[in-house]
Structure 1
Amino acid sequence: MAISITGFGGEIPRVEARLLANSAAQVARTVKLEDGSIAPLRVPTLAKALSSTALTIFLDGDDWLTWQAVVSVVPAPIAEDRLYVTGDGAPKVIAAGATYPLAVPAPSRALVASIQTGSPDPELSSTILYTYTWVTTLDEESEPAPLSNALLWSEGLNVVLSGFAVPPAGRPIDRMRIYRSQTSALGETLLYLIKERAVSASGFTDLAGENDIQEQLPSLDYNAPPANLSGLVPMPNGMMAAFVGKKLYFCEPYRPHAWPEKYILTMDYEIVGLGVFGSAVAVMTRGQPYIVAGTAPDTMSMEKLEVNLPCVSARGIVDLGYSIAYPSPEGLVVINTSGAQLVSRNLITRDQWQRLKPASFVASVHSGRYVTSYTPISGPAATLVIDLSGEQPFITHADAHATAMYYDIETSRLFYAEGLEILEWDALTAAPDMFTWRSKIFALAGHVNFSCFLADVEQMAGADTLSFTARIIADGRQVASVQTVNQVARLPSGFLARNWEIEVQSNAKVTALALAFSPTELSA
């Protein structure tokens, strides 16, 4: 009765070592388990040396941006090359190498309007109002100034406007737009652009017949983002979402500087973080999660998911493409169109999960897998990889300890900060690392002595030499150490054992392992 292992899997900590499936592992460290074989991860590759530790990293073209704080960085939902940042003080925009506050200040003083000469025709007069806005070099328009005094006016009269203010420093504001009201036959009064000019405190004369109305004032509700806005995420249709406390905010589509308060949705619990899938936002809170869905900020609908699975780490929230994953006190949760599921339920117990200290998770994605560094309650910090791609999820481990992670969606590469370095995870051009994989405990019906061992092994590209050691463990003690590959190796005799394990350490690809009583049995 030989022991044969193929179709290798990872760790399933919830299951006792004797009860694991034959292909599952007690230990799977620094391995890739993608095609049924055991293959090593490649050695981490240096992408950039740092002068200080980083808690956030972001690849902007060929340049690495780093922060010593936990921030959210989102590319602009517009054609221009800009980045938007929350978590580093007040929200910011980075454009052309310069960083500005995201909030565009608005004029605080109302204009004063007066008739230049003459008086309005009492038969044909109407009341008009004026306001103005500031516009940045990035074409961001502020909220309007308070409305001017109401002015009785009739056609043919010039109106003099005074009280224009110069914008404060901090934002590159170079223009102002002047608006005049017009009342329709139905009695609706709206504001329309009549003039755009350079920033100036000088007065302006609205000459009769020279300033026809143009487009309607768009920025009436362009509220500036709150100074403590955080958790920024991009959405389809030019939208972005972020939060403050229990409040979920949306920007005006394609206007990332404008965050109208009329779009705010309020949760029952403090928001921890956000994730986006399709046209929906997964809202992770300190209580129950929510799904907020819609194609425009004014049509977003909110659904509370009736599961008691709070999020314990905003940095552990990961976009898996088809869903959002996050750590809860109970295990790993995935939110998608079907709701929220505790996907680690059959993989790891609550006690085992708690020992990992999920509040310490710093996570990302690689090859569709959830990758997270963690600092356990006891023991060294490490990295955990949860593979949800098959029918049976499994875990692998690595020795890395990331303080920040960044997944480059354009190249499907994962980078992480560790110490004073940014490293690439499993870089294609790197040499294979050394892995450790230990089988289940094969508990046999009786005591036996296996005399032969066979390992099918292939050298990996990039490896100068093939390194392979198999430890044969019987009833808890090592009885043999084998370096022979692709041919039968003889094992020592003179003992019997009931519980057998195989532990492999190698930088090569292993496709099969077997223990048998004879070479003939191995060939069969």
Structure 2
Amino acid sequence: MTGSRVRIENFAGMVPKRSNRLLGNSQAREANNARLSSGEIRGFRDWSALHNFNDSAIQKAYRLPDPGSPGGFLWVGFTSPLITLFPGPLLNDAYDRYYKFGDGRPQYNTLERLRNGDPYYWLGVPAPVLPGALAAAGGAALDEERYYVYTLVSEYGEEGQPSIPVTDTGKEDGTWTLSGMDASVPNPAEQPITHKNIYRTVAGFTTSEFFFVAQIPLAQDSYADSVGSDIVARNNILASGSWAEPPVDIEGAVVMPNGFFLAWSGRDIHFSETYRPHAWPAAYDLSTQYKIIGAGVFGQSAGIVTSGHPYFATGTAPENTTLTKNNSAEPGLSPLSIVPLPYGVLYASQNGLTLMSAKGVTSATSGIITKDEWLNNYSPETLVAAQYEEQYLGFFTENQGIAINPSEPQESFIQFDAFNRIDMVQTDEQTGELYVIRAGVVYLWDDPAQQRVAYKWRSKTFYFAKPCNMGAAVVDMEPLADIIEDLETVVAEARAYNTERIKTRLQPIATAAMGSSYVEPMPPPFDEIPQNRMSIGGSPLLDLSQLMARNSDVRFTVYVDGEVVFSEQVSDKKMFKLPSGFKNDIWEFEVSGRRTIFSITVAETARGLADV
């Protein structure tokens, strides 16, 4: 900027940490509801409803691909925002199993059962209670000592830990009867156990190797084995010796890239076997010094957020995963603030947004916002966040939020204040779409088919070398023809609202005090449309002509030494005059509306505009 002229383009976001006067010419003192990645000011698109659970308590939702459901999707909802539902890691799983964490004991279900409304099963297969008894009889060959065990098997082929081994000595070609086995399980409704697998040792091999003998129904409590050792020795060896059930107090989980779960409870980290979500060997467990808040995955690592120092869990398999404590004390303030992104994991700490990446632990916002501003203005302990494109997008109250993109300085930091009553935001990992959940309804964020939401962008404070009068301005914006469809949508929604409002019967007595406002309850979806603030005798209906003007024009506001001296609607990119008769050296400029802004040019005279 030179002289008494200003041209603002290549618009950027906010940097609250810096003084308004020291911001770059394209940076914002205030940027609300604005998309800035292109360098232009654009409004986000409004939401569109995807699914209504008809249950206002729902705070988490998943859309599962399902050819058997209307529209090809099955919606599953939960009342706790901490619950996560993962598709099974096994490719082409014949049962389409889904695994649920964050609601007490880990559970799972099949797509068919979910579609039918059937309850979840407990995750894991129990070890047998009874060891059984072994007796050898008959035969003419040499004596040998054998050990037998058996395992429980679910209807989905999942196998648990073996029973305590039992032993006897008898003839190799005799009949060995294993009796007294479990014929039922303690919780048949929660654990669908249908069969037992029987294993035994074979002479000439170590006693720690148990070979498969036979599979029998759960209800059968004995089995007579007369199969020759030469045949048994060619069978599979017992693999489930350490396949324990998952701990019942698991608080959350993530899926690692190579097909195993990483879960946590308290300070402990647990792992499932690769591609066997029901099996959780205790030997894989690791521990942190601090309580675990949550985790996110990037690359071959998981960033473990704790109430103290963060940790990295890195490995290609559960048995070789290592845990590394970082030296930075960056405790997590909100489990719902943890968001995995392509370049790492972001979460809310006391110092701002902390980034865990291949480079270690760094602050993603240290150059944007101070610790005091972060803690006092953005309530990070209540932050719920998700990934949208490459942005970190979060809300800390029902209608106030932020968006940050550490990898794109242009967007830096923007705020949201145009959305109402947000309960939860989450990313659909199968589509990349962002969902907003409010009162049991799932909405698609930034739907391209919807009208743009009104933005506001206010410039830095421009200090001129000497007082001047900025007398002319041009706001270059998208042509009106480009937003005709948006205007038609606005008018259609307003007409539908007016029709419904006319049909709504008034309450017998309006109890609003003189000078205040009274809002008549409206049925969905019209409860989402802001109602008029009207004077006595005014109309309760939306004024279509005013709506057209408000949605097609851009309001341009000029501040001089902090006071508004001009605020008018601008409908095109023609030059317009600003107030005269005064001079000052402190100026700011603001645009608000729905039309895309390309640039703002301000000068003392109309001729000066051409020189900028």
What's the TM-score once normalised by structure 1's chain length? 0.94
Query: Which string of whole-angstrom CA distances, capped at 9 and with x for unpartnered residues, describes residues 19-68 of structure 1?
Result: 21111111111110011100000112111223223332222222222111
Q: Give the distance between the partners of 1:393 and 1:506, measured in 2 at CA.
A: 19
The structural deviation recorded for 1:325 is 0.6
Map 1:184-263 to 2 at 5 A. Answer: 184=204, 187-209=206-228, 212-213=232-233, 214-263=235-284
1:58 aligns with 2:68: no
1:519 aligns with 2:606: yes
Question: For 2:563, which of 449, 471, 477 is the aligned residue?
Answer: 477
The structural deviation recorded for 1:183 is 4.7
The aligned amino acid for 2:404 is I
The residue aligned with 1:151 is 168
**Greater helix share, structure number:** 2
Unmatched segments (≥5 aa) in structure 1: none
Secondary structure, aligned partner of 1:107: coil
Q: Give the distance between the partners of 1:189 and 1:457, measured in 2 at CA.
A: 77
Question: For 1:92, which of 83, 86, 107 is the aligned residue?
Answer: 107
- Which ranges of 4 or more aligned residues in structure 1 deviate by more than 3 Å? 459-462
Contact 2:137–2:170 at 8 Å: present in 1 too?
no
1:18 aligns with 2:21: yes
Contact 1:111–1:130 at 8 Å: present in 2 too?
no
**Greater strand share, structure number:** 1
Query: Which string of whole-angstrom CA distances, capped at 9 and with x for unpartnered residues, describes residues 99-140 of structure 1?
Result: 21112222111011102336x76xx32211111111112221
The aligned amino acid for 1:371 is L
Question: For 1:361, which of 383, 395, 418 is the aligned residue?
Answer: 383
Contact 1:12–1:26 at 8 Å: present in 2 too?
yes
The verdict on how the C-alpha distance between 1:184 and 1:281 changes in structure 2, with shifts beyond 3 A counting, is farther
Secondary structure, aligned partner of 2:373: helix
Q: Give the distance between the partners of 2:311 and 2:272, measured in 1 at CA.
A: 19
Q: Give the distance between the partners of 2:353 and 2:577, measured in 1 at CA.
A: 44
The structural deviation recorded for 1:519 is 1.7
1:67 aligns with 2:78: yes
Q: Give the distance between the partners of 1:208 and 1:49, measured in 2 at CA.
A: 59
Percent identity for Structure 1 against Structure 2 = 28
Question: For 1:163, which of 147, 164, 180 is the aligned residue?
Answer: 180
Contact 2:83–2:103 at 8 Å: present in 1 too?
yes
Moved more, 94-103 or 203-212: 203-212
Contact 2:12–2:411 at 8 Å: present in 1 too?
no
Secondary structure, aligned partner of 2:125: coil
Q: Give the distance between the partners of 1:384 and 1:183, measured in 2 at CA.
A: 68
What's the TM-score once normalised by structure 2's chain length? 0.81
1:426 aligns with 2:446: yes
Map 1:402-417 to 2 at 5 A. Answer: 402-417=422-437
Map 1:61-140 to 2 at 5 A. Answer: 61=65, 62-69=73-80, 70-79=82-91, 80=93, 81-95=96-110, 96=112, 97=114, 98=118, 99-117=120-138, 124-140=142-158
The residue aligned with 2:587 is 500
Moved more, 399-408 or 97-106: 399-408
The aligned amino acid for 2:340 is D
Contact 2:450–2:486 at 8 Å: present in 1 too?
no
The residue aligned with 1:394 is 412
Q: Give the distance between the partners of 1:39 and 1:74, measured in 2 at CA.
A: 35
Unmatched segments (≥5 aa) in structure 2: 66-72, 488-547
The structural deviation recorded for 1:179 is 0.6
The verdict on how the C-alpha distance between 1:183 and 1:156 changes in structure 2, with shifts beyond 3 A counting, is closer
The structural deviation recorded for 1:209 is 2.6
The structural deviation recorded for 1:188 is 4.7
What is the RMSD of the two structures over their aligned residues, measured on CA atoms?
1.8
Question: For 1:37, which of 32, 36, 40 is the aligned residue?
Answer: 40
Q: Give the distance between the partners of 1:108 and 1:420, measured in 2 at CA.
A: 43
The aligned amino acid for 1:72 is T
Paired residue total: 515
